[in-house]
Amino acid sequence: MTSLLDVSGLRLGYGRTMAVKGIDLSVPAGAVVCLIGANGAGKTTTMRGLSGLLRTAAGTIRFDGVDITNTPAHRIARLGIRQVPEGRQVFAEMTVEENLRLGGLQAPDARTFGSRRAQVLEHFPRLQERLSQQAGLLSGGEQQMLALGRALMGAPRLLLLDEPSMGLAPLFVEEIFQIIAELKGHGTTILLVEQNAQAALEIADYAYVLESGHITLHGPGPEVADDPQVIAAYLGGH
Ligand code: ATP
């Protein structure tokens, strides 16, 4: 199968300490692939490597057949890989509208920008109601939606979502997963890092389990969800 993203032998670390110790993973075009694992397993480090925020120590990252290993983050964003970082990180002092505008800066023309904005606001009617509000005053769930909306303004070819449900009230968690399902329905390619393994495995076409920097298990979402070790470690033993 041809993949949009192909990672092979990837090693990433901080100084001499390796957090990701030689992983292989693929994300086919149009698929939702999830990466689950405990705190400190190396999930965020992997995402930072893919978006160019962290230099790789070894291995290769190929995007649409092109080697992008150690390409600077701004060039990776321009290629169409957009990350929604853990903790959201919207521009708190700016309005919702201004945050969305920033996400769409690279739109080729005003018409494309306008249609992307309309699409994003269709996904997130709550943002439509709050366009002129300061982003920092939104609730956590609304900020997560804005962070997602801002990434979508860049019409990403690959969306990297790092713990989108973290710290959110249950109702927002449900809403975020619904939006991910909608995006999947539209054919958006997504690599999803989640601690909410249950919800992630339900939505994922394919899943990888990361433990202490190694991929210990991978397979189609439902198969990984049925694995006894995954059930014991990540799905509450049910
Ligand atoms: P979490 O769910 O807690 O975010 P994670 O799976 O995303 O966990 P990482 O944040 O990638 O894990 O961390 C992997 C390892 O790298 C951990 O041992 C962590 O302590 C270490 N680490 C992460 N960030 C840094 C940093 N900036 N400097 C040094 N070590 C770091």
Cβ atoms 149, 127 nearer than 8 A: yes
Q: Fill in the amino acid letter for 26.
A: S
Does pLDDT of 128 surpass 60? yes
Residues with CB under 6 Å of ligand 1 are 14, 19, 37, 39-45, 195
Q: What are phi and psi of 4, to 5 degrees?
A: -75, -45
Ligand 1 atom with the smallest distance to the CA of 41 is 6
Residue 199 pLDDT > 60: yes
The matching CATH number, chosen from 3.60.20.40, 3.40.10.10, 3.40.50.300, 3.40.50.720, for 1-80+156-238 is 3.40.50.300
Residue 232, Ramachandran bin (φ over 0: left; ψ between -120 and 50: alpha; else beta):
alpha
Q: Which residue has the higher pLDDT, 68 or 86?
A: 68
DSSP codes of every residue in 80-133:
TEEEE-TT----TTSBHHHHHHHHTTT-SSHHHHHHHHHHHHHH-HHHHHTTTS
Q: How far is the CA of 218 from the centre of ligand 1 (A)?
A: 21
**pTM for the full model?**
0.93
User: How remote is the CA of residue 160 from the centroid of ligand 1, in Å?
Assistant: 17
Model confidence at 169, pLDDT cuts 50, 70, 90, reads confident
Distance 45 CA to ligand 1 centre (A): 6
Q: Locate the domains of the chain by residue range.
A: 1-80+156-238, 89-155
Specify the residue for token string 């809403």.
175
Q: Does the structure show a pLDDT above 80 at 237?
A: no
Q: How far apart are the first and last CA of the chain?
A: 33
Mean pLDDT of the chain: 93
Residue 21 token pair: 């110790």
Alpha-carbon torsion 95, 100, 103, 108, what sign?
negative
Residue 89 has a pLDDT of 83
